[in-house]
Each structure stands twice: as C-alpha cells, then as structure tokens.
Amino acid sequence: MVPAPARFSELVERYDGFLFDAYGVLVDAAGVCPGAIAAIDAVRAAGKPLRVVTNDASRLPAAAAARFAGVGLAIDAREIVTSGQLLGAHVAAAGLAGARALVLGTDDARAYASQAGLAAFAPAALGGGEVDAVVVCDDAGFALLDGINAALTAAVRALDQGRRLALVCPNPDLVYPRGGGALGFTAGALAMILEAGLRRSHPDAPGFVYLGKPAPAIFALARAGLPDAPRLLMIGDQLETDIAGARAAGLDAALVTGVSRWRDRAAAPALAPHWLLDSLA
Ligand SMILES: [Mg+2]
C-alpha cells in the first residue's frame, strides 16, 4: 500500500468518526498545532463523533480537557481516552489490587494508579520502603534522575528478596514533540532504562507491560464509545504507536509527519499509514 498525500478537510466525509492523537497532532508543548482547531470544527460541523486517543497518562481527562480548552480546542472530558484509563483493567487482570506501587509521573498519574486499585506513592515518599510494582506514567512531576534511581533501587531490592515485582508502563512513547522541532524523552524511554538497569543484576527480571498504543486495548476502549461509527480514522504522528496500533486494530490511519517521517518503508507494511498529512491544516 502506498500512503496517499491528503488534506484533512478531504477526509472528513470519508469516515464515520475520528480518533485524534493528542501530542504532535492537536497540541505540542508550545500550544495548539496548525489546523487543529479547524479540523475539530470540521468534524463537529459534519455531525460526526470524535475521540482523543492519547498515551499521555500525566493528566486525568478533565485536566486534559481544560488544557485543550486553554488553547482553543473544545473537547469534552468524556471524549478523551488515555492510557491511564487502562490501568484499572490491567490491575484487575494481573491480580495487583492493593499492590504498593511506586509511580513515576504527576499527581494525576498517581490518581490513575489509585483509581486502578494500587496503593500508589511518589518517589519522594518511598524512603527505604518496599514496592510490589513500578508504574512509569510520565517524565514530569518528579525529580527525574532521583526518581528512576529510586525505582531501580527498590526494584532490585524486591527481586533480591525474591518478591514478586510488576512493571507497568501505560505510556509506551519513547519520544514526544516539545514544539519548534525540539524532542524529549518520555515514559517509554524511562521504562527501557529501568529494564536495562534491572537486568544488570537480574537477567531474568520481568519486563515492562505496556498498556497504551500500539496495544489494542485503548482502541477497543475508544471504539466502545462509538458504536454507531464503524469506519473510523486514526490520526497520529508516530508510526510505531499510532499507525501500527490503528492498523492492528483494523482501522484506517493518517500520519501527521513530524516525530515520524514516512520514507516509503516498503519493508514495514504494518507501519504504513493510509494517508499522509503535512498537518491538520
Ligand atoms: Mg503523538
């Protein structure tokens, strides 16, 4: 399949509903992305439903909606599906209810973990205490190096003592756009560092379980809220998460180029978007 260059305005009539990634598509650290306000307006004007489907686990939906409103994007909290919302099902399925969980991330990240049934605390509250789980939600909200050092130390201690250790990363993204072409590492990269460090002393240590895109759960959650929109288009800026995940979930996908660049990767059809957009403009 060869991705076709397109403008978003041409795609509105082709689909029943739209799943927008947040960072690099609607917003970046510098503010609203070009064309995003008009794109949301066009979907509303066509009477079609939308969801924001984001790996960001650093804001609860209401906080994300407020942030969008602050840059002129009218999106209801109920239209926002986050990887943080996947924690509850994972905690239940993995039998982690009540587990002492060191959470790397913001206050809202810890709120997701608490709502999911974990006994969640921040790195600064760890002291010399024991952990049953390390949950990597975000790069912000804590002293980064102190936090990952504390997580590594606590995780090694748990395995040294022969205790069960669960490693969970709601946001698998390695890199995020900071605006103006600048990039930053985020949760998925921190999980990789922790896993590599842990394996220095425990080669058979458990690996992180990644919850967000490209795994299917977040797409299933978004679709469950849109039963009357069978033909959905996912619009994202990262091939490995947005596009691969959408394709695996059976959805059409449009790549907004930026973090990922399409270079006619004939060898990677699972990553091929249906559409290429320079922006939402
Ligand atoms: Mg993105």
Q: Is the pLDDT of residue 3 over 60?
A: yes
CA–centroid distance, 190 to ligand 1, in Å, is: 17
User: Which pTM does this prediction carry?
Assistant: 0.94
CA–centroid distance, 202 to ligand 1, in Å, is: 33
CA–centroid distance, 182 to ligand 1, in Å, is: 13
Q: Is the pLDDT of residue 247 over 80?
A: yes
Q: Is the pLDDT of residue 253 over 80?
A: yes
CA–centroid distance, 157 to ligand 1, in Å, is: 35
Q: Which domains does the chain have, with CATH numbers?
A: 4-53+213-277 (3.40.50.1000), 85-210 (3.40.50.1000)
CA–centroid distance, 237 to ligand 1, in Å, is: 5
CA–centroid distance, 174 to ligand 1, in Å, is: 10
pLDDT (0 to 100) of residue 264? 59
pLDDT (0 to 100) of residue 245? 97
pLDDT (0 to 100) of residue 271? 85
Q: Is the pLDDT of residue 178 over 90?
A: no
Helix axes 187-201, 144-160, angle to 10 degrees: 40
CA–centroid distance, 122 to ligand 1, in Å, is: 26
CA–centroid distance, 176 to ligand 1, in Å, is: 7
* Mean pLDDT score, 86-112: 98
> What pLDDT digit, counting tens, does each position of 181-222 carry?
888 999 999 999 999 999 999 999 999 999 999 999 999 999
CA–centroid distance, 117 to ligand 1, in Å, is: 28
Residue 188 amino acid letter? G
* Mean pLDDT score, 59-68: 98
CA–centroid distance, 276 to ligand 1, in Å, is: 15
CA–centroid distance, 238 to ligand 1, in Å, is: 6
Give percent of the chain with pLDDT exceeding 90.
84
CA–centroid distance, 24 to ligand 1, in Å, is: 5
pLDDT (0 to 100) of residue 108? 98
The mean-pLDDT minimum among 36-50, 144-158, 163-177, 267-281 falls in 267-281
Protein residues near ligand 1, an ion, with CB under 5 A: 21, 23-24, 237
Q: Is the pLDDT of residue 129 over 90?
A: no
* Mean pLDDT score, 84-92: 98
CA–centroid distance, 244 to ligand 1, in Å, is: 13
CA–centroid distance, 23 to ligand 1, in Å, is: 4
Q: Is the pLDDT of residue 107 over 70?
A: yes
CA–centroid distance, 48 to ligand 1, in Å, is: 22
